[in-house]
């Protein structure tokens, strides 16, 4: 026993013991399901998984000939391009104004953070009601103001912008708070030195704040990219992919093929694998870019 304790008592070894719980959980809930998804994608499997026939790459071939899947990739790309830049840069600008720890800033931080802690279902239902084409509050106000009857959630071409806005509204608070924390960590002496050198607030922002919080910027960019590519909840609640599939994201479509209609788990897994490859490629690209900058 003593020998055992002695063996593991070295810092280089006991580190593995501390890591073990996380690694085990990661293997159980991430690595194994990932491997299973890869495996499933090669089979034709019903939802009950009581029968499986090997189909090779047929599910992948079907996916690339499936108009709805290709459309969902396009919708996801548009959503990501709308949501991510606004989230990453918008939250940064807001955060820059909320850095000081005074009462007003704390209040605004709390307000911006509020949607983050609300459930997506509640947020989705709320927006669905206030943007309803006939009985929605915002629609009615805009109509009274002479903007006409705007059908926010049922107009192809417009609804994807609305959904992106709702998603942005819901999640940008967390990005803003992370930025605020990062900005607050920048050494005050840097700003003092710059001020002594005659640099104004804007110059300080671009030459001190921006470079100092670059790792945070990359972190938010990467996580938001991955999140946007997996958008599901807000779309599922507000439009369920409509109108005419113009907001049907890839994950929404995967869900519908896995759990409703024909319930093809193998096909849904194949589409998940394709999405995984896309997310992986984007993540690796960004990671390399970040390291180069470092």
User: Which residue ranges make up the site for other proteins (CB under 8 A)?
Assistant: 26, 29-34, 36-37, 39-40, 43, 45-52, 128-129, 132-135, 149, 151, 153-154, 156, 226, 230, 239-240, 242-245, 251, 254, 256, 258-263, 265, 269, 272-273, 275-276, 279-280, 283-284, 287, 291
User: Do residues 274 and 257 touch, judged by C-beta distance below 8 A?
Assistant: no
Please state the closest distance from residue 217 (CB atom) to other proteins, in A.
17
Reading the block at residue 141, the tokens are 């106000």
CA distances, 126 to each of 115, 170, 198 (Å)? 11, 12, 49
Please state the closest distance from residue 190 (CB atom) to other proteins, in A.
29
Q: Which is nearer to other proteins, 53 or 102 (CB)?
A: 53
User: Do residues 220 and 173 touch, judged by C-beta distance below 8 A?
Assistant: no
Please state the closest distance from residue 226 (CB atom) to other proteins, in A.
5
Q: At what angle do helices 58-65 and 67-85 cross, to 10 degrees?
A: 70
Task: Find the distance separating the first CA and the last CA of the chain, reported in whole Å.
Answer: 46
SS3 51: coil
Please state the closest distance from residue 232 (CB atom) to other proteins, in A.
9
Q: Which is nearer to other proteins, 90 or 243 (CB)?
A: 243
Distance, in Å, from the CA atom of 288 to the CA atom of 294, rounded to the nearest integer, reads 10
Q: Which is nearer to other proteins, 22 or 189 (CB)?
A: 22
Please state the closest distance from residue 36 (CB atom) to other proteins, in A.
3
CA distances, 88 to each of 133, 172, 265 (Å)? 31, 8, 35
Q: Which is nearer to other proteins, 29 or 64 (CB)?
A: 29
Q: Which is nearer to other proteins, 164 or 272 (CB)?
A: 272
Which of these, 187, 183, 167, lies nearest to 94 by C-alpha position? 183
Please state the closest distance from residue 117 (CB atom) to other proteins, in A.
20
Distance, in Å, from the CA atom of 236 to the CA atom of 246, rounded to the nearest integer, reads 13
Q: Which is nearer to other proteins, 93 or 284 (CB)?
A: 284
Distance, in Å, from the CA atom of 120 to the CA atom of 240, rounded to the nearest integer, reads 13
């Amino acid at each position: 026993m003593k020998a055992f304790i002695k063996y593991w008592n070295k810092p280089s070894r006991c580190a593995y013991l501390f890591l073990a719980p996380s690694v085990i959980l990661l293997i159980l809930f991430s690595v194994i399901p990932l491997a299973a998804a890869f495996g499933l994608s090669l089979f034709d499997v019903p939802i009950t998984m009581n029968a499986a026939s090997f189909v090779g790459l047929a599910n992948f071939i079907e996916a690339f000939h499936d108009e709805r899947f290709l459309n969902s990739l396009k919708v996801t790309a548009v959503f990501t391009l709308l949501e991510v830049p606004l989230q990453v840069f918008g939250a940064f600008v807001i955060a820059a104004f909320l850095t000081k720890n005074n009462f007003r800033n704390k209040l605004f931080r709390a307000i911006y953070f509020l949607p983050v802690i609300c459930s997506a279902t509640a947020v989705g239902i709320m927006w669905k009601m206030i943007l309803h084409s006939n009985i929605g509050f915002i629609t009615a106000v805009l109509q009274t103001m002479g903007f006409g009857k705007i059908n926010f959630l049922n107009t192809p071409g417009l609804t994807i912008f609305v959904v992106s806005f709702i998603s942005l509204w819901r999640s940008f608070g967390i990005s803003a708070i992370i930025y605020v924390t990062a900005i607050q960590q920048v050494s005050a002496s840097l700003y003092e030195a710059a001020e002594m050198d005659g640099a104004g607030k804007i110059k300080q922002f671009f030459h001190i704040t921006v470079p100092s919080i670059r790792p945070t910027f990359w972190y938010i960019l990467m996580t938001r990219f991955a999140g946007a590519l997996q958008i599901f909840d807000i779309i599922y609640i507000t439009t369920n992919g409509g109108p005419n599939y113009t907001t049907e994201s890839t994950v929404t479509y995967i869900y519908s093929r896995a759990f409703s209609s024909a319930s093809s788990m193998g096909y849904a897994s194949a589409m998940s694998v394709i999405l995984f490859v896309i997310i992986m490629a984007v993540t690796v690209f960004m990671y390399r870019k970040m390291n180069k900058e470092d």
